[in-house]
Chains A and B, each alone.
Chain A
């Protein structure tokens, strides 16, 4: 039986000429092959050395042992909750509902840098806060911020390069110092970041830590005026610096223990301070801090009054994608939030899959005995 039966119904004018299907079949194959190839390229299935969010997440995973079911970065933390109260000036900056609603419920997470969910608080140079503000119109504002005042690298490509340099050398079990030095030579901001890490004081609490958006965003107010901004959470608690000896004594879980003690005495608070970009300030480069004399606006106060371990807390199954923004706030030309958004999504998908199979395994175990 022939595979295909050809007809020429309504087709050729010159009915007697034999019609060879082969060139046409070849053309069809070429078209379909081309479309499939473009699809595979865009999906990152071919050209594997390119920077994709999958490759970036793989590189982050390769920097340390696997911890299935946990965040790929800033893996150790606690869930927190509370509320945000905007200041009177906030509405002049952005028409985001969070800046007009008197009290906005907040769900969040306080964490330390690194990929170890059992990492030591007292040796974690970087601390972080992630927040989700949900307003009464159903809109959400998610943010993920760090204790460093600027990013070590300017672009997603540089970030990927830096992450790859941090992958341990199989021979020594440690990152190759030559590669790390090369990153510092290539990016002045990476060297400045090391200086910050060496010299900035270690505070005694999450509650006395300042967290910076680092990235620039657009605020649009009700009059349609658009301003590039960065923001930070300025602690209301008096910062007390811990020296090396005090850190040594502090213990691996001192941050959560400290927070628990503070919460027993009432909410801990941060001021939201918004910095407005000057006309010359780079809004596309988070590795360059803006000058300290830029106009700053107190936009509100965050109060956290409850804390839960992350495995029982509602923050655990949230992706604090910094580009989940309400109307009135938008991403800028800063390329880093787009990359964070893409990589966080990969990380979220991977850990939620792991948690789903893990949950299934646990359920089976419970059935067995």
Chain B
């Protein structure tokens, strides 16, 4: 348990900003590779290993989150905003774990090889099942849109804390405690 209750621990901050970049990149890579008739090969080769990296980092992050209590929200925060903060954070955790797993299962169900790079590939995690593929393929898109919307909400709320409320919530993630 961190002694400074006002800031996230260093690992949490590094994971947060690193994964913020990765997840935002993944969302943009994902929609672009589905629509583009030119960029798909390069982007999909990036999408798979990046997804697996996010899965590993998300597990590490969940472990760190459960071990270290985050700094409390300001006491004067309206209840609905406090509720929205908690709900959206758990939604983000759920989605960053679920999206790579659904992607992996979806490729397995579609009979696709799950190539990471060169000759390195992952085994399928479900059998080749067309109806399951159809379901997971839809889920992968819909949950990606939900993740994107949640990320936007999260960024909006963070900037609201930083620029409008100026209540230290943004700083709790932006930097460590002052010595």
Minimal Cβ-Cβ distance residue in B for A95: B119
Task: Give every chain A residue within 8 A of B152 (Cβ-Cβ).
Answer: 32, 35-36
Q: Which of B32, B123, B156, B164 has the most CB of A within 10 A?
A: B164
Contact A356 B35 (CB under 8 A): no
B174 is an interface residue with CB less than 8 A from chain A: no
Contact B35 A7 (CB under 8 A): no
Q: Is the interface of A mostly helix, strand, loop or mixed?
A: helix
Q: Is the interface of B mostly helix, strand, loop or mixed?
A: helix
In the assembled complex, the CB of B156 is this many whole angstroms from the nearest CB of chain A, namely 5
B137 is an interface residue with CB less than 8 A from chain A: yes
B134 is an interface residue with CB less than 8 A from chain A: yes
CA distance A338 to B167 in the complex (A): 49
A257 is an interface residue with CB less than 8 A from chain B: no
The residue from B27, B38, B78 contacting A156, defined by CB atoms under 8 A apart: B38
A222 is an interface residue with CB less than 8 A from chain B: no
A27 is an interface residue with CB less than 8 A from chain B: yes
The residue from B36, B113, B128, B164 contacting A342, defined by CB atoms under 8 A apart: B36
In the assembled complex, the CB of B111 is this many whole angstroms from the nearest CB of chain A, namely 5
A10 is an interface residue with CB less than 8 A from chain B: yes
Contact A355 B130 (CB under 8 A): yes
The residue from A36, A339, A356 contacting B134, defined by CB atoms under 8 A apart: A356
Contact A24 B163 (CB under 8 A): yes
> Number of B interface residues, CB 8 Å?
48
B28 is an interface residue with CB less than 8 A from chain A: yes
In the assembled complex, the CB of B45 is this many whole angstroms from the nearest CB of chain A, namely 9
In the assembled complex, the CB of A343 is this many whole angstroms from the nearest CB of chain B, namely 7
Interface string of A16-48 (1 = CB under 8 A from B): 000101001101100110011011001110000
Contact B112 A9 (CB under 8 A): no
Contact B31 A5 (CB under 8 A): no
CA distance A28 to B170 in the complex (A): 14
In the assembled complex, the CB of B20 is this many whole angstroms from the nearest CB of chain A, namely 12
In the assembled complex, the CB of B110 is this many whole angstroms from the nearest CB of chain A, namely 7
> Number of A interface residues, CB 8 Å?
62
Interface string of A315-346 (1 = CB under 8 A from B): 00111000110110001000101110111011
User: Which residues of chain B in 66-96 are interfacial with respect to chain A, using CB atoms and an 8 Å cutoff?
Assistant: 74, 76-78, 81
CA distance A38 to B158 in the complex (A): 20
Minimal Cβ-Cβ distance residue in B for A52: B35
Minimal Cβ-Cβ distance residue in B for A331: B41
CA distance A111 to B140 in the complex (A): 31
Interface string of A330-369 (1 = CB under 8 A from B): 0100010111011101101100110111011000000000
Contact B131 A359 (CB under 8 A): yes
Minimal Cβ-Cβ distance residue in A for B38: A338
Contact B110 A319 (CB under 8 A): yes
Interface string of B156-168 (1 = CB under 8 A from A): 1001100111111
The residue from B32, B112, B156 contacting A42, defined by CB atoms under 8 A apart: B32
Minimal Cβ-Cβ distance residue in B for A21: B164
User: Which residues of chain B in 89-138 are interfacial with respect to chain A, using CB atoms and an 8 Å cutoff?
Assistant: 110-113, 115, 118-119, 121, 123, 128, 130-131, 133-135, 137-138
Task: Give every chain B residue within 8 A of A138 (Cβ-Cβ).
Answer: 113, 121, 123
CA distance A339 to B31 in the complex (A): 15
Task: Give every chain B residue within 8 A of A54 (Cβ-Cβ).
Answer: 34-35
Apart from A8-B166, A337-B41, A342-B34, what 12 extra A-B contacts exist at CB < 8 Å?
Answer: A9-B74, A39-B28, A39-B31, A39-B148, A54-B35, A56-B37, A160-B37, A319-B110, A338-B37, A341-B40, A352-B130, A353-B134
Residues of A within 8 A of B (CB): 4-12, 19, 21, 24-25, 27-28, 31-32, 35-36, 38-39, 42-44, 51-54, 56, 97, 137-140, 156, 160, 317-319, 323-324, 326-327, 331, 335, 337-339, 341-343, 345-346, 348-349, 352-353, 355-357, 359-360
